[in-house]
């Protein structure tokens, strides 16, 4: 065993072996994988071996597609078979709502270049005759599904990595990790200490314990999971003989069941409601290649549905029931990337579908380690996406919820109840008393909308407009016509201070920093010129700045800030989290209202649009920004939590004479739509350049040499390929939700445009050669050609909904730049729940296009 290496990968499951292979392929060959026992000694060996490409997050779906493509490559390099069976599979819908869900998934697939097809239950039965098609209303066929040999695949990765120069050390547990002052690691193992620049946690079932070695509690939990294998079935043999084909994979939403052919019989697995965590606090180190005792009673309700839906299986004898543990994060997606607050400590864990995702995880992580960037939009699996609130108990509740609804539909207006309330502001009880419907915003209870008095504050979940439609409309109209108040504690808030603060921010941000008492809006880009942040910044003192940003991105942004912090101690960053809360008042009467609450002049001249002041509001010390996301006249008022009730009470009392209403997050989002304002993580993501994102006026290329300036200047000089645009959609009773395809009928050449899932860091072809340019996107992005008078998919929706004040259904999305200013009718259609609806680009915001109202 070497004593010094560039990187140590801990764990020889499918994920660790994939990470090792991808690191070696990217040129880091001085690397070592350390495995406690033999390879596949965690969950990998007893997996059912199924793989598929579909995922709720289209970016994760693309990494899954990459994983499936990779198997041929590692088979060739290693000489080891993965026993790949690419059978294809169907998802079965038993209700119209589930069919709507499949229509949505199919529509998403269009711009991702996926080849799915909506089919009838009878067509599905022809491919899987064991089903009773009368239980279903429709299905979706996906040709890129199948199964493989889990052990063979893990070994193929490991052999391929070894061929490229990586070392694998077996039967050697990592017992401790200690960081040196220079940021490198001492990896203490049973066989001695290895010194490494980087450490990767691929500990699978023990990922949590490895996290604890460095003081981190990762939000990951193992669940028991069962699948059964039938005796050989004559029906299966007969089908194989008569068609010359293997039976396909089937996923049944109702029963939360998956099934496929295994030898001459059937494998059927369940995600049962009465699910059971395994080793919820500590994973025993001596757990090895053993299975857990099967518990047929626990899966009996799922089997009952399964046998009804697939009567052909009921007749077969059960040969074996496998029960094994594997890990999940709160939302079922992996935890990948560098851990905020630590140097060179990386994660690739909570990979619940290692054989669908392992390749993509390995590629993204190796890009990140070797080139400083994952090369894809990996937010959906970034380890930074959960906050401190994701404690052991919170994780336990959420993982159980996620497991038991693994194949359930999540409606766009559906808030899930487990582990709530976690964080609350001092106004929580007041908001409940006001009949607020609350939502979870990065672990914080936040009012979404207010139900009329006497009605139950509850969403009726739906893909269509629902019971919140009327009340949100009232909130918007009352705010726009008079004045409204809403909680904004769910923004991220930071203070950056010190003699180096201004230079630091100028280096990170694309806009100039404001003068004392003024505010700017500014994107942040990475060195590849891609959007990684969008902030409101106020200069609050000579060496002091307040920053507000996206709540969900707090750890993501802190990781970036810390990475670029000068080493000389000249800059300090403080993240407030919920130690600073806020209220926003907006609408034409908001100034009159504020004036009643303060003892300073807040007239237009004294307190201008984009001004910042510290002032007492209702007697409480507050910071006030003259800005609001509603795009109206309005203010953001920030205070310590101890003052929030006082300020809210003062606002309510003083506001009564102006007709003040409470409004929630959904009204706020509706109002931002009619102003064409973007949202972070929907419109603005690390796959778009700032000019693509139509953020032109916030990019000051001439100001100083900020990170990503060169790439942004290039984008500007060459012209962005895509543009973010707003649409008015001729919708009926359902608005867009995001990820819908945008169709166009154009008779002109707009060039070839790809959905940019990948960017920046190099990628490699099957032979290990680096691929650049459009080829790099092959298989990872749908390529649209030149459109010539035919209807084609030319773009995708990022978000939208109903803009209540202007009474229009609106959407934002990306289209080729050449089409971005074409407001003609009849040019675009947006697919909503499988129906294409006419849509028209709306360059100027329909509400207050000149911005006069917010400036007065």
Instruction: List residues binding ligand FAD (CB under 6 A).
Output: 10-16, 34-37, 41-44, 46-51, 173-174, 202-206, 210, 225, 227, 322, 324-326, 349, 351-356
Q: 742: which 2 tokens?
A: 């945008």
Helix (H), strand (E) counts: the chain: 20, 42
| Cα-based angle 550, 555, 558 (whole degrees, multiple of 5) | 95
Q: What distance in Å separates the CA atoms of residue 738 and residue 745, rounded to the nearest whole number? A: 21
Q: How far is the CB of 174 from ligand FAD (least distance, A)?
A: 4
Q: How many CA atoms lie within 13 A of 305 on its CB side?
A: 21
Strand (E) or helix (H) holding 853 = helix 852-855
Pairing of strands 519-525, 146-147: unpaired
Q: How far is the CB of 467 from ligand FAD (least distance, A)?
A: 39
Q: How far is the CB of 17 from ligand FAD (least distance, A)?
A: 7
Q: What distance in Å separates the CA atoms of residue 395 and residue 701, rounded to the nearest whole number? A: 44
**Residues 678 and 700 sit within 8 Å (Cβ to Cβ):** no
Cβ closest to ligand FAD, residue 323 vs residue 798: 323
Give the phi and the psi of residue 306 in degrees, each rounded to 5.
Answer: -55, -45
Sheet holding 484-487, edge to edge: 612-617, 620-625, 634-639, 581-586, 484-487, 661-662
The count of other CB atoms within 10 Å of the CB of residue 531 is: 25
DSSP 241: H
Q: How many CA atoms lie within 13 A of 330 on its CB side?
A: 25
**Residues 563 and 640 sit within 8 Å (Cβ to Cβ):** no
Q: How far is the CB of 372 from ligand FAD (least distance, A)?
A: 24
Q: 343: which 2 tokens?
A: 């140097």
Cβ closest to ligand FAD, residue 57 vs residue 487: 57
**Residues 529 and 589 sit within 8 Å (Cβ to Cβ):** no
Cβ closest to ligand FAD, residue 193 vs residue 679: 193
Cβ closest to ligand FAD, residue 38 vs residue 821: 38
Cβ closest to ligand FAD, residue 48 vs residue 531: 48
Strand (E) or helix (H) holding 162 = helix 150-163
Cβ closest to ligand FAD, residue 227 vs residue 548: 227
Cβ closest to ligand FAD, residue 305 vs residue 322: 322
Pairing of strands 612-617, 620-625: antiparallel
Q: Which residue has the tokens 């229009």?
A: 808
Cβ closest to ligand FAD, residue 120 vs residue 320: 320
In 284-435, the DSSP E strands lie at 318-329, 335-338, 345-349
Q: How far is the CB of 270 from ligand FAD (least distance, A)?
A: 10
> Cβ-count burial of 371 within 10 angstroms (0-12 exposed, 13-18 middle, 19+ buried)?
middle
Give the phi and the psi of residue 48 in degrees, each rounded to 5.
Answer: -75, -10
Axis-axis angle for helices 590-597, 641-655 (nearest 10) = 120
Cβ closest to ligand FAD, residue 283 vs residue 584: 283
Cβ closest to ligand FAD, residue 323 vs residue 446: 323
Grouping H, G, I as helix, E, B as strand and the rest as coil, residue 567 is coil
Q: How far is the CB of 353 from ligand FAD (least distance, A)?
A: 4
Cβ closest to ligand FAD, residue 210 vs residue 369: 210
Q: What distance in Å separates the CA atoms of residue 623 and residue 549, rounded to the nearest whole number? A: 16
Cβ closest to ligand FAD, residue 146 vs residue 471: 146
Q: How far is the CB of 166 from ligand FAD (least distance, A)?
A: 15
Cβ closest to ligand FAD, residue 15 vs residue 107: 15
Sign of the dihedral through C-alpha 242, 243, 244, 246: negative
Q: 364: which 2 tokens?
A: 């993204």
* In 250-314, alpha helices (H): 296-309, 311-314
């Amino acid at each position: 065993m070497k004593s010094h290496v560039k990187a140590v990968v801990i764990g020889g499951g499918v994920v660790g072996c994939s990470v090792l292979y991808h690191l070696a392929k990217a040129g880091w060959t001085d690397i070592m994988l350390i495995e406690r026992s033999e390879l596949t000694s965690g969950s990998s060996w007893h997996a059912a071996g199924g793989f598929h490409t579909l995922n709720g997050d289209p970016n994760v779906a693309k990494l899954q597609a990459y994983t499936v493509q990779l198997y041929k490559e590692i088979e060739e390099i290693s000489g080891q078979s993965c026993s790949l069976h690419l059978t294809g599979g169907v998802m079965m819908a038993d209700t119209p709502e589930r069919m709507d869900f499949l229509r949505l998934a199919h529509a998403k697939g269009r711009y991702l270049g996926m080849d799915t097809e909506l089919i009838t239950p009878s067509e599905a039965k022809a491919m899987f005759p064991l089903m009773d098609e009368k239980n279903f209303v429709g299905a979706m066929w996906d040709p890129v599904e199948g199964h493989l040999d889990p052990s063979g695949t893990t070994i193929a990765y490991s052999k391929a990595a070894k061929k490229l120069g990586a070392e694998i050390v077996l039967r050697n547990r990592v017992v401790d990790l200690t960081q040196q002052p220079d940021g490198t690691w001492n990896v203490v193992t049973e066989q001695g200490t290895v010194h490494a620049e980087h450490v990767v946690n691929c500990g699978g079932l023990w990922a949590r314990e490895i996290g604890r070695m460095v003081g981190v509690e990762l939000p990951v939990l193992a669940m028991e999971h069962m699948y059964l294998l039938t005796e050989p079935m004559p029906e299966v043999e007969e089908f194989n003989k008569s068609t010359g084909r293997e039976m396909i994979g089937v996923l049944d939403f109702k029963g939360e069941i998956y099934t496929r052919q295994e030898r001459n019989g059937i494998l059927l697995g369940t995600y049962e409601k009465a699910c059971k965590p395994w080793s919820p606090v500590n994973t025993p180190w001596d757990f090895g290649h053993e299975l857990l005792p099967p518990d047929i009673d626990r899966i009996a309700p799922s089997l009952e549905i399964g046998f009804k839906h697939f009567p052909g299986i009921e007749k077969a004898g059960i040969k074996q029931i496998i029960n094994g543990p594997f890990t999940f994060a709160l939302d079922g997606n992996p935890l990948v990337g560098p851990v905020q607050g630590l140097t060179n400590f990386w994660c690739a864990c909570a990979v619940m579908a290692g054989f669908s995702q392992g390749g993509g995880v390995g590629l993204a992580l190796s890009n990140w380690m070797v080139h400083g960037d994952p090369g894809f939009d990996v937010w959906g699996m970034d380890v930074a996406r959960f906050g401190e609130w994701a404690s052991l108990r919170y994780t336990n509740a959420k993982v159980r919820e996620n497991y038991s609804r693994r194949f359930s539909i999540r409606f766009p207006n559906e808030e899930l109840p487990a582990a709530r309330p976690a964080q609350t502001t001092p106004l929580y009880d007041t908001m409940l008393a006001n009949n607020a419907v609350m939502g979870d915003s990065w672990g914080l209870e936040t009012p979404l909308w207010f139900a009329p008095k006497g009605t139950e504050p509850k969403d009726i979940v739906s893909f269509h407009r629902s019971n919140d439609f009327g009340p949100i409309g009232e909130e918007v109209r009352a705010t726009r016509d008079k004045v409204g108040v809403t909680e904004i504690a769910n923004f991220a808030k930071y203070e950056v201070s010190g003699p180096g603060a201004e230079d630091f921010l100028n280096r990170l941000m694309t806009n100039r920093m404001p003068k004392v008492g003024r505010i700017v809006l500014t994107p942040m880009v990475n060195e590849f010129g891609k959007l990684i942040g969008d902030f409101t910044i106020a200069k609050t003192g000579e060496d002091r700045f307040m920053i507000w940003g996206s709540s969900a991105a707090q750890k993501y942004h802190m990781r970036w800030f810390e990475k670029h912090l000068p080493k000389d101690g000249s800059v300090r960053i403080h993240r407030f989290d919920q130690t600073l809360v806020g209220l926003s008042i907006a609408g034409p009467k908001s100034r009159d209202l504020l004036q009643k609450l303060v003892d300073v002049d807040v007239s237009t001249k004294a307190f201008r649009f984009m001004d910042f002041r510290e002032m007492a509001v209702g007697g409480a010390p507050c910071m006030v920004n003259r800005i609001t996301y509603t795009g109206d006249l309005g203010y953001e008022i920030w205070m310590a939590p101890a003052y929030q009730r006082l300020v809210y009470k003062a606002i309510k009392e003083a506001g009564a004479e102006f007709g003040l209403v409470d409004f929630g997050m959904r009204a706020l989002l509706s109002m931002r739509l009619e102003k064409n304002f973007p949202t972070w993580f929907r419109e603005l993501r690390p796959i778009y350049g700032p000019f693509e994102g139509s953020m032109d006026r916030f990019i000051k290329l001439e100001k100083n040499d900020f990170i990503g300036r060169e790439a942004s200047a290039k984008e500007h000089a060459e012209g962005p390929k895509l543009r973010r645009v707003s649409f008015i959609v001729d919708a009926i009773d359902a608005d867009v939700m995001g990820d819908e395809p945008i169709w166009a009928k154009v008779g002109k050449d707009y060039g070839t445009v790809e959905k940019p899932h990948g960017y920046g860091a190099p990628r490699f072809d099957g032979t290990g050669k680096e691929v650049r340019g459009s080829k790099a996107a092959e298989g990872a992005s749908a390529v649209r050609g030149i459109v010539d008078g035919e209807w084609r998919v030319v773009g995708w929706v990022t978000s939208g909904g109903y803009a209540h004040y202007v009474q229009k259904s609106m959407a934002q999305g990306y289209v080729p730049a050449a089409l971005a200013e074409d407001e003609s009718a009849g040019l675009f259609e947006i697919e909503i729940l499988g129906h294409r609806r006419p849509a028209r680009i709306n360059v100027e915001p329909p509400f207050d296009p000149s911005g006069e109202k917010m400036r007065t």
